Structure formats: C-alpha cells, structure tokens
C-alpha cells in the first residue's frame, strides 16, 4: 500500500468537505493510505502577494513535516499543489535551502530536499492507473458525457511537472474520466480560469469568466462538469451540475452518493439526468 501525507489546505475542510470525504473513500478503496499530519499549516499561496520569502518558509515547513515522516505529500487543492511543488523546486538550490532552514530551526525543523508533491489526480493516474480503475468499476458510466475542467494550477509551474502532462493541452483528467466509463468532452473554453483568484479583485470579471464557460458548455450536451479543485468547485457549483473527480470515480466504484461521497442535490441531479 502506497502511503502519502494528506495535505488538505485551508479551503477544503471548511467549504468543500465533500472533497475530503470522497477522496478518503476512493483512496481507501484503491489501497492508498493517507496519513494526517496535525502540524500542517497553510501552503503559503496567498501569502505570496505580501512576501515571497515568507510564503517559501511556510511551504518549506510543510515539506519538512512530511519529510520527517518519510512521506511524499498528496494534495487536493491545485493551488497548494503548485505552491508546494514550486517551493520544492526552489529549495533544490543549496543556498535557498540554507536560508530557509535558518528560519525553520526556530520550530525544530529542517528541510533536506527529498519530499515530492502530487495532486490526488496524479496519484490516481500514476499509482493506480486507468487500467485498474476500468477493471474495478462496478457501475461504469457508459454514455455519460462530462466536461473536464483542469484548473489553472494543476500543472503549473510547468517546470515542476515536466514529463507528466502538457499544461496547454492536458489529457490526464480526460483519461481518468474515460476510465470510469464516462465520456470526456473537449470544448472551446476548457482552459479558461474559473475566476476564483480574480474574485477578490473584481467580482464582475470573475462572474464573466464563469458565465463564458457555462454558455460555451450549454451547446455541448454534457451531464456535468468534472473538476479537481475546491475553488473551481465553489465557482461553478449552482451554475450547472459539477462533480469533483473523486466523486465521479467513487460512483464508478460503487460508493454511496451521499454517505460516501457527500454529493449535494445539484450533484445528485447528475444521477437522475
């Protein structure tokens, strides 16, 4: 059984607990052990607007906590994924790591540069694989057309994810969706931002970004949007049926929609369509 330190981030436990619920269910079902580290804190993503150095220290603290336990980090939040992966890349430089460790020693930590960071979708793609998902699907979703939404941070910065997927033309979520039996649909605005990070600066622009994608999908005859980020979920939920990928996967594996996956009324409408 593969073991990872589960990094929940700040938003998921408070606003999208169904993401955690569904993720824990599918990981348990597929033999991925999730280890909770109580000392984990914010990844530092939002702090970067104020201090890049402080944000790096915050990320390094989380990396060091997982490293002390000999674990890689599994993330749910795409922004946390990008922030932690970029920090790990930055800290490969000896001088940068030394500067950060000078700060970390105040809390009894040091980062040696050995911890990897993977989003849940990447763990499912690489450690489990599409073939096993297809073979274990109890309720294959044949004929169900869904729209993949990758989000902005899942594969960025590009340098931190080289060799895994192409940020400008990603396909891994498509393949994971197809493994459940559902049909991933390509569409013109697939790479468009959800507007979540824009919202604090311009709510109007944020709403325009959401509306543009919803209008584009109106002509595609899709049952739902499938995504892998809690911020994207919050932006699109209520505008159209949306499912987090572990919810879609859980359905295919025979999970109970409400009890195991936390599917809300809008998401359950996906089942009745």
pLDDT digits (tens, 9 = 90+) for 31-69: 999 999 999 999 999 888 789 999 999 999 999 999 999
Residue 176 has a pLDDT of 98
Q: Where are the domains of the chain?
A: 2-119, 138-255
pLDDT mean values, one per 10 residues, the chain (273 residues): 94 96 98 98 88 95 98 96 95 96 96 96 97 91 93 83 87 97 94 86 90 92 94 94 96 94 74 59
What pLDDT shows up at residue 272?
A: 57
Task: Domain 138-255: state its class.
Answer: alpha beta
How far apart are the C-alpha atoms of 111 and 8, rounded to whole Å? 20
CB 117 within 8 Å of CB 21: no
Task: Provide the CB-side half-sphere exposure for 38 (13 A, CA).
Answer: 0
Instruction: Say whether 138-255 and 2-119 share the same fold.
Output: no
140-169: pLDDT as tens digits: 788 899 999 999 888 888 887 878 899 889
Would you identify the CATH topology of the domain 2-119?
Glutathione S-transferase Yfyf (Class Pi); Chain A, domain 2 (1.20.1050)
Rounded to whole angstroms, the Cα distance separating 20 from 24 reads: 6
Neighbouring C-beta atoms of residue 77, cutoff 10 Å: 28
């Amino acid at each position: 059984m593969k073991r990872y330190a589960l990094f929940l981030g700040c938003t998921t436990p408070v606003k999208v607990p169904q993401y955690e619920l569904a993720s824990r269910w599918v990981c348990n079902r597929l033999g991925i052990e999730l280890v909770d580290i109580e000392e984990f804190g914010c990844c530092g993503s939002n702090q970067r607007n104020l201090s890049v150095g402080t944000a790096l220290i915050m990320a390094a603290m989380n990396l060091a906590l997982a490293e002390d336990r000999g674990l890689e980090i599994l993330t749910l939040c795409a922004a946390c994924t990008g922030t932690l992966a970029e920090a790990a890349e930055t800290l490969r430089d000896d001088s940068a790591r030394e500067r950060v460790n000078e700060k970390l020693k105040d809390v009894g930590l040091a980062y040696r540069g050995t911890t990897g960071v993977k989003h849940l979708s990447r763990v499912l793609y690489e450690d489990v694989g599409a073939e096993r998902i297809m073979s274990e699907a109890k309720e294959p979703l044949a004929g169900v057309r869904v729209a993949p939404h990758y989000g902005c941070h899942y594969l960025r910065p590009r340098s931190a994810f080289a060799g895994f997927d192409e940020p400008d033309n990603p396909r891994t979520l498509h393949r994971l969706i197809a493994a459940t039996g559902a049909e991933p649909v390509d569409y013109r605005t697939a790479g468009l931002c959800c507007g979540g990070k824009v919202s604090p600066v311009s709510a109007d622009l944020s709403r325009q970004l959401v509306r543009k994608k919803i209008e584009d999908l109106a002509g595609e005859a899709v049952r739902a949007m499938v995504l892998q980020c809690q911020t994207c979920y919050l932006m699109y939920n209520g505008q159209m049926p949306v499912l987090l990928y572990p919810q879609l996967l859980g359905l295919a594996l025979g999970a109970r929609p409400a009890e195991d996956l936390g599917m809300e009324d809008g998401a359950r409408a996906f089942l009745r369509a």
